[in-house]
Amino acid sequence: MARLSISHLKKTYGALTVVDDVDITIADGEFLVLLGPSGCGKTTTLRMIAGFIAPTSGAITIGEQDVTNLPPWKRHCGLVFQSYALFPHMTVAQNVAFGLEMHKVPQAERGPRVAEALRLVRLGGFDERYPRQLSGGQQQRVALARALAMEPQVLLLDEPLSNLDAKLRLEVRIEIRELQQKLGLTTIMVTHDQEEALTMADRLVVMEKGQVRQIGTQRELYEKPADRFVAGFIGRSAFVEGQVTGQGRFRTAGGLDIACTAAAASGPATLALRPERIAVGGEAEGLPNRFQARIEHASYLGAQLDVQVALNEQDRMLLQIPNKVGLAEPHVGESITIGWAESAGLVYPQGA
Amino acid sequence: MSAGSQRFGRYALNGAAGLSLGFILLPLIFVTWLAFFRQEIPSFPPEGYSLKWFAGAANNKPFIDGFMLSLQVAVASTLIGLLLGVPASLALVRHRIPLGGGVSTLLLLPLVMPGIVLGTATYVFQIEVEIATQLPVMGSLGGLIAAHTLVVIPWVVRLVTASLVGFDRSIEEAAQNLGAGPVTTFWRVTLPSIRPGIVAAALFGFVTSFGNLEMSLFLVGPGRTTLPIAILQYLEWKIDPTVAAASLIQIVLICVAMIVTDRYVKLSRVV
Write out pLDDT tens, residues A8-61.
999 999 999 999 999 999 999 999 999 999 889 999 999 999 999 999 999 999
- 3-class DSSP state of A272: strand
For residue A149, what is the nearest residue in chain B, using CA coordinates?
A: B178
Q: Give φ, ψ of A291 to 5 degrees.
A: -140, 160
Model pLDDT for residues A56-76, shown as the tens digit of each residue: 999 999 988 999 999 999 998
Helix (H) or strand (E) holding A165: none
Please name the residues in contact with A50: beta carbons below 8 A apart, sequence gap of 6 or more. Answer: A72, A75, A77, A79, A156, B173, B177
Tell me the pairing of strands A31-35 and A187-191.
Answer: parallel
Tell me the pairing of strands A154-158 and A187-191.
Answer: parallel
Distance from the Cα of B95 to chain A's closest Cα (Å) equals 16
Q: Do B171 and A88 touch (CB under 8 A)?
A: yes
pLDDT confidence tier of residue A93, bands split at 50, 70 and 90: very high
Burial status of residue A185 (CB atoms within 10 A of its CB: 0-12, 13-18, 19 or more): buried
Please name the residues in contact with A255: beta carbons below 8 A apart, sequence gap of 6 or more. Answer: A312
Output the pLDDT for position B53: 78
Instruction: Classify A125 in phi/psi space as left (phi over 0), alpha (psi -120 to 50) or beta.
Output: left
Which is nearest to A206 in space by CA: A217, A196, A194, A215? A215
Interface test with B, best of A87, A101, A132, A155 (most B CBs within 10 A): A87
Helix (H) or strand (E) holding B247: helix B242-264
Q: Do B174 and A81 touch (CB under 8 A)?
A: yes
| Cα distances (angstroms) measured from residue B28 to each of B18, B199, B207, B226 | 15, 26, 17, 21
Q: Does A214 score more than 90 pLDDT?
A: yes
Model pLDDT for residues B133-192, shown as the tens digit of each residue: 888 877 788 888 998 999 999 999 999 998 888 788 899 999 999 999 999 999 999 988
Tell me the pairing of strands A267-273 and A238-246.
Answer: antiparallel
Model pLDDT for residues A158-191, shown as the tens digit of each residue: 998 888 888 888 888 888 999 999 999 999 999 9
Q: Does A207 score more than 90 pLDDT?
A: yes
Q: What is d(CA A243, CA A265) in angstroms, rounded to the nearest whole number? A: 10
Average pLDDT over residues A288-309: 90
| Cα distances (angstroms) measured from residue A304 to each of A198, A219, A322, A336, A341 | 21, 22, 4, 17, 21
The larger pLDDT score, comparing residue B3 to residue A274, is at A274
User: What DSSP state is assigned to residue B186?
Assistant: I
Please name the residues in contact with B44: beta carbons below 8 A apart, sequence gap of 6 or more. Answer: none
Q: What is d(CA A111, CA A90) in angstroms, rounded to the nearest whole number? A: 15
Model pLDDT for residues B33-86, shown as the tens digit of each residue: 877 877 777 777 777 777 777 777 778 788 888 888 888 899 999 999 999 999
- Give contacts of A88 with chain B, Cβ < 8 Å: 171, 193
**B57 contacts B36 by C-beta, under 8 angstroms:** no
- Give contacts of A150 with chain B, Cβ < 8 Å: 178-179
Lowest model confidence (mean pLDDT) among A207-216, A251-260, B79-88, B220-229:
B220-229
Q: What is d(CA A197, CA A208) in angstroms, rounded to the nearest whole number? A: 15
Distance from the Cα of A267 to chain B's closest Cα (Å) equals 50
Q: Which residues pair with A59 in a beta bridge?
A: A7
pLDDT confidence tier of residue A313, bands split at 50, 70 and 90: confident
User: What DSSP state is assigned to residue B224?
Assistant: -
Q: Do B178 and A77 touch (CB under 8 A)?
A: no
> Pick from B168, B179, B195: which is nearest to A150 by CB?
B179
Chain A residues whose C-beta is within 8 A of a chain B C-beta are 50-52, 71-79, 81-83, 85-89, 98-99, 102-103, 146-147, 150
pLDDT confidence tier of residue A263, bands split at 50, 70 and 90: low
Buried b (16+ CB within 10 A) or exposed e, A191-221: bbbbebbbebbbbbbbbbebbbbbbbebebb
Average confidence score pLDDT of chain A: 90
pTM over 0.80: no
Q: Does A224 score more than 60 pLDDT?
A: yes
Q: Does B270 score more than 60 pLDDT?
A: no
